[in-house]
Amino acid sequence: MTAGRRASSSDVPSAEATTLAVEDFEAAARQRLPRMVFDYYAGGAGEETTLRENRRAYDRWVIRPRVLVDVSTVDLRTTVLGQDVPFPILLAPTAFQRLAHRLGEVATAQGAASVGALMVVSTISTASLEEIAGTGVRRWFQLYVLTDRDLTAELVKRAHAAGYGAIVLTVDTPVLGRRLRDERNRFSLPPGIGLANLAGAGLPTAEGSALFSFFVDRIDPSLDWEDVAWLRSLTPLPLVLKGIVTEEDARLAVEAGVDAIVVSNHGGRQLDGAPATLDVLPEVVAAADGRAEVLLDGGIRRGSDVFKALALGARAVLVGRPYLWGLAAGGPEGVRRVLEILRDDLALTMALAGRAGVPAIDRSAVAPAPRDPDRGEDT
C-alpha cells in the first residue's frame, strides 16, 4: 500500500487470503478459544512425544515425481468400504465440539456435507447422532463400549436406524491416557453442554480432568477380541477397528472379520511413546494383506501428507484437529475451507508428482528421506 494513502476495504485481506494453510486456522483458533479448550483439542498424553512424532514421520519420506504424464485432469475420487467419496480425506471422530462453536458437531457436519466429505461421529459428541444425521452429511458412528452393555447396543442400533454407514470401534482406550494439560486446566464441560448421545449426561466433578473420571466410571476396560463378534451380531453395518498400530493386532483384526482398520494412536493422546502412525502403516498394510481396508489418522496437515499415506498403502486418511481449528475459526465455513485446502493441496501434489488418479499413487511414489548428517537421524 502506498505511504500516506488511506486504507480502503480492498486493502484488507479476505479471510481466505489470511487462512491459506491448516496452521493459519490453528493460530486463529488459539486466539479465539479459552486456554482450557484449546489445550484439550491440541494436547497429547504424557510429554507429548508421540504427538510430535506423528508430524515428524511425514518428513521421513520424500515424493518421487514422475514427468511427462498427462495431468490435465486430476481425479481424487475413490471408495471407502464400497462408498464413493470425492476425495480420500475423512473427518475423524472428535468429542465436545460445542466447545469450539455453538452448533458443535452440527456445524461440522454442515461444512463436511458442503464438499461431500464423510464424517465419523463420536460417541461423546455434544449433538445427538440423530441431529447430525439430519444435516444429510455422509456419516459413520464411532463407538466406545460402555460398562452398560445394553446402552452400548442401543447406540449401535440408533446409528443403524439413523442411516450411519459403518460402526467404528475405538480399541486403544481401555483407560484414558494421562493428559497433563487437561489435569492442569481441570478440564470439564461448562453448563449447558452435555453428552448428547448419553441422555445429555455431563462429566463428573473431579480434582483433575473430568474426562479421565468419566472414562473410569463409564468405559469398559474389559473389552477384548471376543466382543468383536458380539458387536457384529448387533448390526449388519461394516465394522471398523480404530487404534491399531501393530502387525499382530492387524492380523487378529482380519481374522475377526472386520471390514477396515484405522492405523491410529488416538492423535498421540493415549500411550505416549507409541509409534507414529505413518511409521507403522506399511507393516499394518502388509499384515492386512488386502483382507481389510486400511485407513490412517495422525498428523495430517497438508496434501503431501495425504499423498505419502496413500503411497504407503492407506485407502484414505482421517483428520481431526485441522477441522476443529476450522470450526473454531469459522463454523461450517471454516470446516469447509480446511477440507478444501487439504483437498486442493492433494490435487496439486498429485499433478506435480505425475499421478493423475488415486489408484496411481503407489509405493513407487515415495522413498525414505536421505539421512541428515548434521543430526544423525532421518528428517
Catalytic residues: 266
Bridge-based pairing state of the strands 167-170 and 138-143: parallel
Q: Residue 260 pairs with which residues in a beta bridge?
A: 240, 293
Buried b (16+ CB within 10 A) or exposed e, 78-115: bebbeeebbbbbbbbbbbbbbbbbebbbbbbbbbbbbb
Helix (H) or strand (E) run with residue 306 in it: helix 303-311
* C-alpha to C-alpha distance for 147 and 149, rounded to whole angstroms: 6
Longest dimension (CA), the chain: 74
Closest CA to 169 of 227, 104, 129: 227
Closest CA to 143 of 130, 153, 133, 131: 153
Q: What are the helix and strand counts (H, E) for the chain? A: 14, 14
Closest CA to 99 of 195, 27, 199: 195
* C-alpha to C-alpha distance for 61 and 40, rounded to whole angstroms: 30
Closest CA to 171 of 253, 83, 290: 253
* C-alpha to C-alpha distance for 299 and 264, rounded to whole angstroms: 10
Phi then psi dihedrals of residue 235, to 5 deg: -160, 150
Query: Measuring CA to CA, how many Å separate 299 from each of 59, 171, 323?
Result: 11, 19, 12
Are the CB atoms for 71 and 354 separated by under 8 Å?
Answer: yes
Q: Which three cell numbers stand for residue 172?
A: 486403544
163 DSSP assignment: T
* C-alpha to C-alpha distance for 140 and 202, rounded to whole angstroms: 23
* C-alpha to C-alpha distance for 164 and 236, rounded to whole angstroms: 11
